[in-house]
Structure 1
């Protein structure tokens, strides 16, 4: 086990419909690098994972995003899935948490459909990002520079396209999360 993320706490924000591997693999990667993770959601109890269009595992939530404080975390992971980020972007507390996290300068890892909540939080303007193909127009319309690459990093924002990109995404989030806060995202 690496110690690159020792003494760091990583928030993972998700709800029902998250793409399971896009949550579990990044979670495992940062934990293997020494981080503690906390699964935040918009509801108590458990949330339902998906393997594309089939139900996956249910995961126990550690806390509500409405009760979470950005200051308690060093980095944020936003997994995809279609239903997950769509529901999160409709929750005021989740959107505010992502907006505040972005403004803090702390690193964020986002994959697949995950950028939808960042779009809602109005934090993608001027950022170079990638995503699942159907989200790219939304990113472009929100002011992001959109590229089709396995993993893209722009001032602490690590974005990736799909589950096939997870090895590169996981390596890069560990690297960026170890680097820590960016002084400015402008």
Structure 2
């Protein structure tokens, strides 16, 4: 039996990010003493002199900016005729647009939007959970995708990987 032409990621990456975001928000809101778990960003906003509308503006800029990066990167996949979804076969390497600066601009866009959403939800715990989220994405998505792309595209992918960093 032949090996499937996919990287074998553990779950759709947007669901991984969403799961960690909701876990951080949920843990802070369902606990008997949420103030013991979650301090929010009130202390930081007060220390920096940021009012709630400014914090929400920063959150909105991050959310929209992350989504725009995702759209730009995913649009290149669609224009080149290859699947955006990591559970489908890749047919071409893309190294233009945001892929000149990051091998994973979509996951970077997800992370930027995640930060904006955590700020909008006033959830320091959700923001803290971005670190383990990125570790899961790196270990169980990106590394599998990189092994897949190296096997599929060989020297072309190795040269690209040598020129462009994984995140930034």
TM-score (normalizing by structure 1):
0.28
**Higher share in strand:** 1
TM-score (normalizing by structure 2):
0.30
Q: Which has the higher contact order (CA 8 A, sep 6+)?
A: 2
**Higher share in helix:** 2
